[in-house]
Amino acid sequence: MGDLLQMTPFLNAFRQEFCDVEITLMVLKQFEDVCSGFPFVDKLEVFDAKDFLSRLGNREFSLVENYRALEKMLAGLRHKKFDTVINLSFSNHSALLTHLLSTTDVRGITMDDQGNRLLKHPWVNHFYNMVDNREINLFNYVDFIRKIGGATRTSPMSFGVSASARTFAETFYTTQDISEADRVIGMQPGASTENKRWPAESFGVLAAKLIEDEAKIVLFGGRGERELGEHVRGAMGLPPDRIRKHFFDMIGNTSVDQLASLVARCDLLVTNDTGTMHMATAVGTRVVELSLGPVYFPETGPYGEGHIVIQTDMPCAPCEFYVQCKNPRCRESISVAQVLRVVQMVRDGRLDREQQLEDSSNWNGVQLYRGVFDEEGMLEFHPVIRKALRRVDLIKLLYREMWKLVLDERPGEVDSLRVSQKIHGQFTMNGIPVKLNEENGVFGALGELASQGMEISQRLVEWSEKIAENIPAIKTAGRILHAIDEQIELKGLTHRVCHPLTFMFRQGKENLQEGDIGLLSRSTLRLYETLFREATLMNRGLQETVAYLGKTS
């Protein structure tokens, strides 16, 4: 549900930019209800994956019959003769389906005739890059989707609540004697995996303290999370009559539409990283997200201005996707007192403006972030508590500015003045924390390797005009490029700061499709040119930013 809701800003913006386009959205059957609230989609194609998989395991259906069933579905889609297919899912299954639709203009992940994965957009390549380099990514998933799809406008997340769902919510709140004057706090104690969940007992203690402040608490979640609701209730420690009047457990008792209508009435939602969190942003409810385990809020945090994220300051946060942590201390590192303080500050309007809090013992072990849209309309999260600048903070800000230029194929240099101003506005500075000479040297060396690759590739382009006459030279050039590529790869392995560049370069090489030597040479030349520009922009941006910081510290 969350992934689909995160597509709505792109779909909405795409519809506004191209009003005469017909949009068909293909989704799995279990998410049909979510997409019924998307007014900007003309037609919904539903694929029942469970039914198809059950056919595969059923001996009553032969392999040929199953193939024909799939081919029938694909034939119906091919008949529509789509001009463009945009794959906003990143699974191998969706890549295969995209390939089988046989559309010329494809954006996103697809496959070639041999089953090799192809990434059909610079921002898709970067998305895969960030999976392996999350520590320096500052782009939200919603903005990735918008860039991949080709929408230039910005649009908020949205969901159309039906009239019947609005009636359901009105009836619920009236029946429970919750008036417009009451402060309603929603809570979502569940999450897709346990390592993303703040303890249910902590939600219970928080709920009790908010009820003491006369708030009304509504609990949300799916059917499989009902046990969590019982844990929350059991940890509250309030008299039954007090709980009955102020605590309402709706876990597993709503449709998607009804969930949206109930969340829309809440003044605030306190939540883990969940689909309910994205629904809250879609219906205009403010969010306080608890970012735990492998959750990396810059990627998947609440998309909108003013939402607050609380993340542990533990050095291992966020952990990698497939880490099996035997001591998930991050779940307990965020205290009830800290979350309560944030909720109270939101209530009092103290977190409404772009202002910072001085670091104190109240915030030991955590950092707060506020969602803000930047100059290009892309979401970023600014630290709320003013803490010391780290080397990685500076590198992340530079990478963000550089990628926007390169991936959008825009001319220009990294705006080092903007980066230095953001650093001064968001962090404490004790002079220049580091000179970053090593980083400058690494980017410079990488740029030199890319320059050598450009020179050899340019010769290959020229030699490809007369292949027969230049076979020995072409073979020698191939060996030289292979050696250059090995050195580029080594730079990324030994210097983590430039690994995003070398990873993107390798992805680009793997994405090259077979063709004549002239086509391959020109494609290879473009890869080296891109790497050279990236390394040069990072090198200059780093030098200029450090110089600005030195003048103003």
Q: What is the mean pLDDT of residues 84-100?
A: 86
**R_g over Cα of the chain:** 26
Written as six digits, the tokens of 269 are 């939602």
Q: Cβ distance 391 to 432 under 8 Å?
A: no
Check pLDDT > 70 for residue 457. yes
Cα(168)–Cα(523) distance, integer angstroms: 57
Q: What is the mean pLDDT of residues 178-189?
A: 96
pLDDT tens for each residue of 470-514:
999 999 999 999 999 999 999 999 999 999 999 999 999 988 876
Residue 113's identity, in one-letter code, is D
Residue 29's identity, in one-letter code, is K
Q: Which residue has the tokens 């530079």?
A: 398
Who's near 448: CB < 8 A, 6+ residues apart?
A: none
Looking at per-residue confidence, does 531 or 32 come out higher? 531
Q: Which residue has the tokens 């030597």?
A: 517
Q: What is the mean pLDDT of residues 400-424?
A: 94
Q: How confident is the model at residue 371 (pLDDT cuts 50, 70, 90)?
A: very high
Check pLDDT > 70 for residue 435. no
Q: What is the mean pLDDT of residues 366-394?
A: 92
Q: How confident is the model at residue 345 (pLDDT cuts 50, 70, 90)?
A: very high
Q: Cβ distance 484 to 448 under 8 Å?
A: no
Q: What is the mean pLDDT of residues 216-227?
A: 94
Q: Residue 434: what pLDDT? A: 55
Q: How confident is the model at residue 432 (pLDDT cuts 50, 70, 90)?
A: low
User: What kind and span of H or E run contains 263?
Assistant: helix 256-265
Q: Residue 77: what pLDDT? A: 85
Q: What is the mean pLDDT of residues 42-68?
A: 79
Q: What is the mean pLDDT of residues 87-93?
A: 83
Check pLDDT > 80 for residue 51. no
Of 359, 356, 358, 360, nearest to 370 by C-alpha is 356
Does the reported pTM lie above 0.85? Answer: yes
Check pLDDT > 70 for residue 553. no
What percentage of the chain has pLDDT greater than the value 90? 61
Cα(400)–Cα(393) distance, integer angstroms: 11
